[in-house]
Amino acid sequence: MTDDLLARHRAVLPSWMPLYYAEPIELVSGSGRRVTDAQGRSYLDFFGGVLTNMIGYDIPEIREAVERQIRTGIVHTSTLYLIRQQVELAEKVARLSGIPDARVFFTNSGTEANEAALLVATNHRRSHQILAVRNSYHGRSYAAMGVTGNRGWSASALNPLQVAWLHSGERLRGLLARLDPADRIEAAVEDLREVLATQTAGNVACLIAEPIQGVGGFVHGPDGLFAAWKKVLDEHGILFVSDEVQTGWGRTGEHFWGYQAHGVTPDLLTFAKGVGNGFALAGVVGRADVLESVPAISFSTFGGNPVSTAAGNAVLDYLLDHDLQANAARTGAILADGLRAAVAGLDCVAEVRGKGLMLGVEFVRPGTTEPDPALTTRVFEACRAGGLLAGKGGLYGNVLRMGPPLTLTEDEAREGLAILVDAIRSCAQAEVAP
Ligand SMILES: Cc1ncc(COP(=O)(O)O)c(C=O)c1O
C-alpha cells in the first residue's frame, strides 16, 4: 500500500529530500513515455525522473546492452583495469563534445562531475576564485553548493571556493530584466567586467554556467551571451565550464549542446542525468591540458563502471541512430507553440520559455511578476490528476517544468499538451472566480 510506504519513507528518510504531490506516488512500471503507479494509474511522463530517463522506459536496446554486460559476470572491476565499455564511451563523448583533443573522466553524478571540473580548473589556474551565475544549480557537494546561486538548494555556507556572482541575463527578473537581448548581453558583459574588477583578486580559475538553468526554472540569457562573456574571460585566461547536465545530448532541439547556441566552445563540459537513461553515469570532458591538471592519484570507484557505461553506449547509439535531437525540435515546437497559443491572454502566466524538450511555464499574480507558487502547485496537481507527470522549479517554486524523454512522439506531445492546457485553464479560471 502506498500509504504504508509513505509512512515508512517518512520514518527512515530525511525530510529535506522532498516528495512530489500532496499524495505521493510510487511508480512501479514503465514503458516508452508512460509509467504506472502502485494504484494502477497510468501517466504520460513529461519529467522523466528529472530529465534523466532521456530515451524512455524499458527501451529494448538499452536493456539488452545492460543484460549482456551483466551476463559476462563482470558488474565491477575498478578503473585499475581496462574497461572496454568505458573507453568506447569516452571516445564517443570526446568526439561529440566539440572540444579538440578532449579527455573524459567518468563519475556517478552531476555533482561529482562539477566537483571534478572545479578541481582541474582550480589546479590548472592555481586559483580557487570562481565566477558563477545567480539562480544556478550545480549539485550538492560543498564545492557544487558553493557555486549554486539558489538559496533553496544551498544547504551550507561552507565553501572551499571564493565565488563571485554574475547576473544570469534572464528576461523576466533581476537587474537586466526586460532589456532587449542585445542590451542584456552588453549589460551582462559590463557586469562581468565590474565583478572581475571589484570582487576578485584577478586570477580567476573559471566561470561555470548552465546554458539553460534547470532547477532555476529553465531560465536563460540571450543566445550569444556565453561568447560575449568568453571574450572577456579570454583576456584573463579564465576557463569556461558549461554545465550540460540538463541541456546536453540534443534536448534543446536546435543544438546537441546548450553551449552551441552561443557560438563558443567551453574548456570543460559536465554531463550526467540522461546519458545513462537512469543508470548512474556522469562525467567531465575537457581540453587535455586542463583535464590533466591533477597532481595526484584520483579515481572514482564506481565512475564509468562496466554496467553504466554499457548503458551509456547504448543510449548514445540510440540517440544518434534515431536523431532524437531533431525529434526534440519537432515535438518541442508542438508543445511550445500550443502552450503559447493557449496562455495568450492569461495574465497569470508570465512566460512560456525554454528550447526543444526543455520547457517552462512561469506563474505570477495577474498582471505582475510576483511569483504565484500556490497556483503553480494547483496546476501541477491538476496535471497529475489528468494523467501527466510534470516538474516544478524556479527560485520561487512558481515554474512548471517539462522535460520529457527525447523519444516523445508527436501524438504524445499533443496528448500531454491537451492535459497541460486543461490544467492551466481550469486553475487560472478558479483563480479569478469570486
Ligand atoms: C545543471 C545541474 N548540474 C548538476 C546537477 C547535480 O547532479 P546530480 O544530482 O546527479 O549530482 C544537477 C541536478 O539536478 C543539475 O541540474
Query: What is the pLDDT at residue 320?
Result: 98
Domain boundaries, the chain: 5-58+325-430, 62-322
Give residue 412 CA to ligand 1 midpoint distance, Å.
27
Instruction: Classify residue 24 by its DSSP letter.
Output: -
- Written as nine digits, the cell of 85 is 565499455
- The CA 129 to ligand 1 mean position distance, Å, reads 21
Residues 121-148, mean pLDDT to the nearest whole number: 98
Residue 1 reports pLDDT greater than 60: no
C-beta 215 within 6 A of ligand 1: yes
CATH of 62-322, picked from 3.40.50.2300, 3.30.450.70, 3.40.640.10, 3.30.1300.10, is 3.40.640.10
Tell which residue, 304, 301, 296, has the closest CA to residue 120. Answer: 296
pLDDT the model gives residue 429: 83
Ligand 1 in contact with 139 (CB < 6 A)? yes
Q: Tell me the average pLDDT of the chain.
A: 97
Q: What CA–CA distance (Å, rounded) separates 35 from 53? A: 11
| Vertex 295: Cα angle to 294 and 297 (nearest 5) | 80
Beta bridge partners, 129, equal 162
Ligand 1 test: best mutation among 212, 246, 249, 257, most atoms within 8 Å of CB?
A: 246
Residue found by looking up cell 491538476 in the block = 382
Of 353, 385, 348, nearest to 368 by C-alpha is: 348
Residue 108 has phi, psi (to 5 degrees) of -100, -15
CA distance to 65, 150, 213, 286, 341, per residue, from 393 (Å)? 34, 11, 10, 30, 22
Which of ligand 1's atoms lies nearest the C-alpha of 110? 7
Q: Is it the case that residue 410 has pLDDT exceeding 60? A: yes
Rounded Cα distance between 143 and 114, Å, is 8
Residue 77 burial (CB count, 10 A): 12
What's the longest Cα–Cα distance across the chain? Answer: 69
| CB of 245 sitting under 6 A from ligand 1 | yes
Distance between Cα 422 and ligand 1 center (Å): 31
Threshold 0.95, pTM exceeds: yes
CA of 245 to the centre of ligand 1 (A): 6
Rg (CA), the chain: 21
**Closest Cα to atom 8 of ligand 1:** 110
Which tens digits make up the pLDDT trace of 3-48? 699 999 999 999 999 999 999 999 999 999 999 999 999 999 999 9
Region 232-249 average pLDDT? 98
Task: Give per-residue pLDDT as tens, 224-234.
Answer: 999 999 999 99
Q: Are strands 391-393 and 129-133 parallel, antiparallel or unpaired?
A: unpaired
- 5-58+325-430: CATH, from 3.90.1170.50, 3.40.50.300, 3.90.1150.10, 3.40.190.10: 3.90.1150.10
Residue from 242, 219, 115, 104 nearest 169 by CA: 219
Q: Is 110 in the pocket of ligand 1 (CB under 6 A)?
A: yes
